[in-house]
Amino acid sequence: MTYPLGVVAGAVATAKTASPLEQLTIVVPTVGSARDVVRLMARAGAIANTTALPVSQLLTRLAPPALIPRQPLPYPLLEAAIQRVLAEAPGVFADVADEPITAQALASATWELTAIANPTMDSPSPLVADLLRIYRAATDRLTSSYYLQHEAYTAAAERLDQLGAIIVYHSVADSRAEQTLLNELQQRGETIEPTVDVTPTQIIHTSDADDEVRAVVRLVRKHLANGVPGHRIGIFYGSDDPYLPLLHEHLTADHIAFTGPECHSLVDRPTARALLGLLELDHDTMPRRELFTLLAESVLQRPDLDVQPISQRRLERLTRDDEPIVGGTDWERLTRVGAHEKHHATAVALHTYIRELQTDLRAIVNAPDWATVAEHLTALLARYFRAPTSDTAAADLAAIRADCVSLAHMDGIAPAPTAARVLDAVTVRLTAHRGMHGDSGAGVTIGPIAAGVGRDLDVSIVIGAAEGIIPTPRRDDPLLPPELAGITARDHMERQRLAFASAVSAGRTERIVTFPRGNLRGGAEKVPSRWLIPAMAQLAGRDVNVVNWQRETENCPAIVAVESFDVAAQRADDRIGASAASDTEWRLRELASVPANRRRGTLNDPIINLGMAMRSDRLNGRFTRFNGNLSTVKDLITTFDHPVSPTGLELWVQSPYQYFLEHILRLRALADPDEIAQIDALTRGTLIHTILERYVLATIDGAELDVGRLHLVAQEVLDEAQADSPGWLEQLWAKDRGTIVRDLDDWFGHDHIDHAGGWQPTHAEQSFGTGTDPEVSLTLGDHSIRFRGQIDRIDRHSGGRIRVTDYKTGKSDKYRDLTDLTPTNSGLQFQLPVYGLFARTLGDDVEARYWFVTSKGKFGSIGYPITDDVIATLTDDMDLVHRSIRAGHFPPKIEDTHWELPVIDLLGRAGLRRAWAALEGVDEIADYVRKYGG
């Protein structure tokens, strides 16, 4: 193969025959190819007074001096001018003129038109005709201060004499104006057009793009190990998504230096996200979830208390639990927090912060002009954004501040500011920042296929060569038909073909093309690019078609099939490279080298070894710390050092692991007020309990039995609940409220009958076991359990009997087996006998019951007398619970229920169920399994 840079060197020598200081300009297609040419000239000793640059840099050098004092037109100002035209005379775009996307689409189209001196078209459609009208109206307002692209091309063409001798290497134009300038350059100098063909030395196909990039990284490691300098290797991709982020991820993981476009540009990083997020907020409601998401980025200043920022955790707990807030008027609830409440200071600080931020944001979007917008935005950055802690963050903040200041230039060009226009103006400026990763010319080069045009490398790798990626389909643009833009679909396709062929041809010794057989995001099968099929046939030495290409190339050594990540990680292919693509692959290979039953401890990595131990113990049914055996630290479990709740111990019976998480580790999931659109069963029960408590307490104090009084109590409680639950939907709450009130009416009738039967309430919400409340304890041999709780209601009969009542607002199904012979329902329910223990301090003749106080439970009751036999049963059942908890046994059994279990659901029910099912024949939990089943 003839390498074109050798021809360039000869042309340079000829141009400098008269003098080595002869001025010479070499026009190249890309910045990378300019670097290659400069290196070549330096090695040849012909660098003096020789310049290599692409057309874009040529324009920057020649045009501005000729067009002073006008400046090049920035894209954001063109969009701003178009917004103003749309506001004043929208034409056919009247129905969508206020949508930001309209101005964006028109600006994108007119930006291409700025490269055409007089964009016209015979018989344009109404859409195109109005586009041209808007283009002329917008640019007419701008050209007194700014020049358009076509003017720059014209000015540059008139100043080509300043370039000296000219060599045009690999002429590639992206527009009609650029092609015109290249034609002028070619007329004045020598043109070197290399012959480019798709002639790879190796083709690799993989299961998907991720495996494709892994294979490429192995290849790069192979060539680096063989002595190829990193800057002599280029990787060129067919599309940014998914290849650019994948290349960044895998090259970084393998510690390979590289240079190329940033994966995450300014607009993707936290500072810009925070600013755009603030501007996107509904400034009237200040929605809590969206605002707190921004605060969690750690870019914005959080409200402070005593000169210290309030933690995100405290803010979340305050606005989820203490004072549930969605947004809008909910924030005013913070002003009603009493000074005696522990979260009062936090509430005041947060309310002040919210209202001040709201005022500042409103000042931005309601500003009378763009200069004021710029002033308020810079003040916002100074007041609410934290001092940068890294060089990148500092550079980002400086760039964002400069962009905000530049908004002042929009006065007289753009329409008056609005919230949508301010957001769009900031977004378009932040999006324009696209930096480069790494040091130019140092390390492996990565870039789009167009960046490979004109390159001179030892190894070129083109990835993504599957149909649909290369070539990329071009959709017709109704705003820019070919007759207007001067570029047809065929032109677009030919440019892609030449770019692909040029990128492949850039490698002197190795030219590798790769493509995926599938898609990362779906199951769609991919086939080789139409431009790669002939090369596959050449390497295979036989005809290859798009249908049977795998079978037709399977025995070709130069065409490598990577079956999967697992296969590639465990079995090295010398054709790609024996080296692993990352530290993870090295570890996988080391593990794969030993039998599965001997892999624990193979790696000198404590985290992986612990993970393998956990997986092994759970799969093989070993009762260890990874599935609830805390016997080695049982002394740290202080559950019975304090009074315990009987319902908490019921939870241990149902799910020992959940009890461990919630009662010992004290984990809980915070509710999100935004997601609670309707009252849940637990809250419904709490409200009914509260209503009955207030009503019964007043009855105890002497109030008459009166359904009207019950309604007043209900109204008060339900109104408070609605105020405390901002996410509830009004129509759903009206329905639920009506159901509650109807159930209360029915309950009143049953309570009236009860009263007529001789029962009179004496206590409501009677506490025991806490503070100065009476103690209740149960002796278990050498140990005892102290209980705590709150009894919904205690009644005394005219005959002297005492009755303990616990309200239930659900169905009675799970309690139907409770009798005086099975008072704990075989060790499942302890509440009634424990409450009975307390009631026996008030009298000897005691009974306890569950009263189902809604239509779901049909207002029935289930209970029994509290006898010595009942207490003996409770003692026997409690012995197992007490022994197991003190021993540190919390096996991963979970309750079989359709209800949400927030903490358990975070861990995953299925995995815990598998771990529990594997625990067979474990001595430590044998008594538990015998009593409660597997």
Three-state SS letters, 523-588: CCCCCECCCCHHHHHHHHCCCCCCCCHHHHHCCCCCEEECCCHHHHHHCCECCCECCCCCHHHHHH
Give the tokens for residue 276: 């755009």
Q: What is the pLDDT of residue 581?
A: 64
Determine how many CB atoms are found less than 10 A away from the CB of residue 40: 19
Q: Are strands 789-797 and 759-768 parallel, antiparallel or unpaired?
A: antiparallel
Q: What is the pLDDT of residue 488?
A: 86
Q: What is the pLDDT of residue 724?
A: 86
CA angle 220, 559, 508 (to 5 degrees): 50
Distance CA 640, CA 632 (A): 18
Domain ranges in the chain?
A: 4-69+153-192, 74-141, 202-262+443-558, 267-433, 624-670+760-934, 672-757
- Answer for the pair 807, 829: CB distance below 8 angstroms, yes or no: no
Q: Report the candidate in 104, 74, 72, 113 with the shortest Cα–Cα distance to residue 86.
A: 104
Q: What is the pLDDT of residue 772?
A: 86
Q: What is the pLDDT of residue 300?
A: 97
Q: What is the dihedral of CA 503, 508, 509, 514, to 10 degrees?
A: 0
Q: What is the pLDDT of residue 1?
A: 45
Q: What is the pLDDT of residue 357?
A: 97
Give the residue ranges of the chain where pLDDT is below 50.
1
Cβ contacts of 497 within 8 Å, gap of 6 or more = 471, 531
Q: Report the candidate in 433, 447, 429 with the shortest Cα–Cα distance to residue 261.
A: 447
How far from 482 is each of 121, 180, 489, CA to CA, in Å? 10, 17, 8
SS3 844: coil
Buried residues in 342-374 as b, exposed as e (16+ CB within 10 A): ebeebbbbbbebbeebbebbebbbebebbbbbb
Q: What is the dihedral of CA 263, 268, 269, 274, to 10 degrees?
A: 180
Distance CA 869, CA 450 (A): 88
Domains 202-262+443-558 and 267-433 share a fold: no
Please state the CATH superfamily assignment of the domain spanning residues 4-69+153-192 in this structure: P-loop containing nucleotide triphosphate hydrolases (3.40.50.300)
Q: What is the pLDDT of residue 520?
A: 67
Domain 202-262+443-558 sits in CATH at 3.40.50.300
Q: What is the pLDDT of residue 676?
A: 87
Q: What is the pLDDT of residues 325-372, one digit of tens each?
A: 999 999 999 999 999 999 999 999 999 999 999 999 999 999 999 999
Amino acid at 120: T
Q: Are strands 165-169 and 444-448 parallel, antiparallel or unpaired?
A: unpaired
Q: What is the pLDDT of residue 881?
A: 97
Q: What is the pLDDT of residue 367?
A: 97
Cis, peptide link before residue 242, omega less than 30° from 0: yes
Beta bridge partners of 233: 459
Distance CA 83, CA 102 (A): 9
Buried residues in 427-465 as b, exposed as e (16+ CB within 10 A): bbbbbebeeebbeeeebbbbbbbbbbbbbbbbbbbbbbb
Amino acid at 637: I
Distance CA 296, CA 316 (A): 10
Q: What is the pLDDT of residue 3?
A: 64
Q: Which helix (H) or strand (E) holds 734?
A: helix 730-756
267-433 has which fold? PCRA; domain 4 (1.10.486)
Distance CA 585, CA 218 (A): 11
